[in-house]
Amino acid sequence: MNDVLISTEGKVGRIRLNRPRAIHALTTGMCESVLAALTNWREDTAVDAVMIDHADGRGFCAGGDIRMLAESGADDGAAARDFFRAEYRMNHALFTYVKPIVAFMDGITMGGGVGISQPARYRVATENTKFAMPETGIGLFPDVGGGWYLSRLAGRVGQYLAVTGHRLDGAECLALGLASHYLPSETLDAAKAQILADPQAIDTLLDGLSVAPPPAKIEAHRTDIDRLFASDTLEDILAALASDGGEWAAQQLMTLNGKSPQSMKVSLKLLLDGATMPTFEDEMRQEFAVATRVVQRHDFIEGVRALIVDKDNAPRWNPATPNGVSDHLIDQIFAPLPENAAWTPH
């Protein structure tokens, strides 16, 4: 069975993720196939638009092949580097694509799923959408352009999402600009059929099928988020949450106490840098350098063990406290790679 189904229907290039048992988590081969299709369609005048969705099963895309990355990280890291190189090239190709892309974020859209939906001009959320960048819980960080997308959200929502891994629903995605349209899931088949029939009219078709979403729950906490997550220094955020005295702040503090201190610091630095990155190519180059190092460090291998392999949900982070994660360590993780090892878009 092909893990990704690639076809042309009418004047639309179709990319359908097809690993239902893994909630369509991306493999190196899947990323390479998508990149090859995008390259083929770029100059093809018979293709007017690209559509990305999932074939069967629940969820759009749960992320990347985490077990493989951890096994590679514990070894020489070569397979992990190959994966990140291919994935980020796919992300960059999507981001710089001139033809319109429609991504259907129906169900779980996390990690790598965020990376293939956010570059799309049209990002369709539904009542089933569960959107998150939960990487700090496994010792990783919100990559695939997370430093770019999250740093550009209003206020401090991006920083909040990056460190807590908080899940958003479809209505919240629309309110924050992470989705461009909100459709009931039962209308998706009709939407896809209409786009296949007339890819020149995607705007009109999606606008016509869109409905008003329920209230976005995150709006009730926007002022708290902007106030309590105001700093780019993790210790300041933890102190603000601890001294707040409110129930919501106490919940966030409990959440952060379970995350990797190294990962949270990497995430804050990523968003701080990402906000002023000149181009998405620069963002991907930096994220590749960070990813190749983090994937071989203790916290990622331990996080995958605790949450995915042994499932004891009791990761032993090292360093165990934010104070133990020195600025020097973060600088080492973020140092540019030598030119012959650095990420390139082609």
Rounded mean pLDDT, 44-50: 97
Q: What is the pLDDT of residues 256-284, one digit of tens each?
A: 999 999 999 999 999 999 999 999 999 99
How sure is the predictor about 206, in pLDDT bands with cuts at 50, 70 and 90? very high
Mean pLDDT calculated for residue range 61-75: 93
In a domain, 131, yes or no: yes
- Do the domain assignments include residue 340? no
Beta bridge pairs of residue 108: 130
Ranking 20-24, 39-43, 96-100, 257-261 by mean pLDDT, the lowest is 20-24
- Higher-confidence residue: 57 or 88? 88
Residue 14: the pLDDT is 98
CB 51 within 8 Å of CB 41: no
> Is 306 among the domain residues?
yes
Say what the pLDDT of residue 78 is. 96
Residue 247 lies in a domain: yes
Mean pLDDT over 199-218 rounds to 97
Give the model's pLDDT for residue 42. 96
pLDDT, mean of residues 328-340: 97
Where residue 57 falls among pLDDT bands split at 50, 70, 90?
A: confident
Average pLDDT (178-188) is 97
Task: Give the per-residue pLDDT at 70.
Answer: 93
pTM: 0.96
> Binning pLDDT at 50, 70 and 90, where does residue 177 land?
very high
Q: Would residue 343 count as lying in a domain? A: no
Name the packing angle between helices 78-95 and 66-74 (round to 10°). Answer: 140
Give the model's pLDDT for residue 257: 96
Contact in structure between 183 and 211 (CB atoms under 8 Å):
yes
124, 73 Cβ separation under 8 angstroms: no
Three-state DSSP class for residue 153 = coil
- Which residues are catalytic, by number? 64, 112, 135, 143
Q: Residue 63 is encoded by which pair of tokens?
A: 């992320």
Q: Looking at the predicted structure, is the pLDDT value of residue 223 above 80?
A: yes
Partners of residue 169 on adjacent β-strands? 130
pLDDT tens-digit readout, 279-305: 999 999 999 999 999 999 999 999 999
Question: Is 345 a domain residue?
Answer: no
pLDDT digits (tens, 9 = 90+) for 138-174: 999 999 999 999 999 999 999 999 999 999 999 999 9
Q: Is cis: bond before 319, omega within 30 of 0?
A: yes
Q: How far is CA 215 from the centre of its chain?
A: 24
Confidence of residue 58 (pLDDT cuts 50, 70, 90): confident
Predicted confidence at residue 301, as pLDDT, reads: 95
Average pLDDT score, the chain: 97
Tell me the average pLDDT across 91-102.
98
User: What pLDDT score does 134 carry?
Assistant: 96
CATH code of 100's domain:
3.90.226.10
* Dihedral sign for Cα atoms in the order 61, 74, 72, 19: negative
User: Which domain range does residue 183 map to?
Assistant: 4-334
DSSP letter string over 59-113?
Answer: -SB--B-HHHHHHHHHTTSHHHHHHHHHHHHHHHHHHT-SS-EEEEE-SEEETHH
* Residue 342: inside a domain: no
Number of domains in the chain: 1
339 part of a folded domain? no
Section 207-229 average pLDDT: 97
